[in-house]
Structure 1
Amino acid sequence: MDSSDLVAASIAITSYRRKSPGLGGLSLRTNELICDNLDDEAVSKPAEQFILSSKMNEWDRDSTISILDYFQDPMITAYGKLDQDWFNEGESFALASSNTPQMQLDEAIKRRRSVRRYTGDPIDQSDLSSLLRYSSGITGKANVARSDGNEEVYYYRAVSSGGGLYPVEVYVAVKKVKGLPSGIYRYSPRNDALVVSGGEDDVSGLMAGLSVSDDQLNIDGASVVFILVGVPWRSMRKYGSRGLRFVFHEVGAISENIQLVSAALGIGATDCSSYYDDVVNQALGLDGQHKFVADLVIAGIPA
């Protein structure tokens, strides 16, 4: 190791080493510094706070009562109306027929890779339909009885969800899809449709919120961006703070579904959480609290 290597190593270590007399007087705190000084009272501990606040305990009567309420007739009826959409004519596009993947699941799992370079060519609407339906679309239904003898219809989806509450909505920023105008759309599983949510300017606003260079991720060449939006109180109303865990469970499951279907269709995809939250939330008209962008999945024709 020559002197320049030693200097670089020294700078790197100093960036997170504890400073004397303590952390209280430091204005710059790198993540490494925080991680290596978790025993210091001056350091915030978001991971520990999240884990502790979302624990389940046998004496938690508040959560028990909240959960039991969801098995009563009013909530059974509400479940049956979950995600019903009403919109005016011209505000939505019916999904095209799907391009059914022919690849076996085990082969798709083996082929899945994070693809970050794209040709800039458009994908077909049938491929977009497949990615939406097989990641979070309706896959079945069942009749659930109420105490008065009537029944409600419950709808099952391609993704598992804590309590069947589906606290994640899927939006799509369309950049290059054959026959579909550029814009931002919200996927409506119950209507099997894309609901217009924003125009081409909003797509540009979303792209402006990404904090990655072209060398890292070729956003300009991508065809679509799937935007996974968390609605935490849809789950937390029943499960309390623990419901936030279920939001992130579902985000990961939908993302994995998108990427496995992409692999089976020959489309490249990758997760991307390198974005400025306030900017991307504003591009979608979200408040960033009751609804927030939890993850992005970039997809396009592999270069």
Structure 2
Amino acid sequence: METLLAVKNLSVEVRSGTEGKRLLRDVSFELRKGSCLGILGESGSGKSLTCKSVMGLLGPEYRVSGTVAYKGRDLLSLRREEMRALRGSGIAMILQNPMTAFDPLLSIGSQMVETVRQHGPFSPAEARRRSLDALTLMGLRHPDDVFRQYAHQLSGGMLQRVMIGLALLLGPDLIIADEPTTALDTVTQDEILKEFDRVRRERRCSVLFISHDLGVLARIADDLLVMDRGEVIEQGDLRRICSAPRSRRTGHLFDTRLMLLDAFRKATTPREERSRHEEPLLAPAATGF
């Protein structure tokens, strides 16, 4: 399968006074066209920093080295104007907290229309039609009402659907999703994951999906990249890693999640039900399948 994104020896150093601190060290991976690569790790492991480096969103105090080849072009060598033009139309990003991504003083529709017109010669009417189509695609009821509303009038799940729809609106080849379901309740998270997976398969776009939750990645990712302290400690087929992790640190991440799920189950399940369902509840939780 064709490689869309190839990252090789990506390293990031931040300058503090006269010294530099290495935050990422020789991160390398490939993303195939139409596939989803999950990036797993605890807070501070370098997941988000990796993707911000790919998007060219780090400030001047950061020194980025290595290569980030998107369709054969090294993104790290592009000028700021070239990278800005690529964002949205070629590479889109979905953030963790949708509330902070929208201007509270402008309607959802006006912001969507503005985004569309910035990336193509579309009339206001055409931009509006495309925006409404995106809202419909994401399964939002009464898209005309959503189009007229403001961010504070929508729930977190609705805003996340709007953000995903907006990311897909311009037909990007690559979507970078940075913990897009973390702030959502379990039911809404489940709905968002189903919609996201359906749409990305229909559109055949590639996805980098960042999460600290193995269960989330197990539902949507084809391959897995595990990070710890700014380095890649394991990568490969997700099912293989879940069933037989080669890194002790990866195994620890899996065991920690299992213990948390077990503690939650014991706290919320009556004692008699725990005794009857011990194994069925624990076995799938270990891998998320």
**What's the TM-score bracket when you normalise by the shorter of the two chains?**
under 0.3
Q: Calculate the TM-score normalised by the size of structure 1.
A: 0.25
Report which of the two has the higher share of strand: 2
Q: Which has the larger radius of gyration?
A: 1
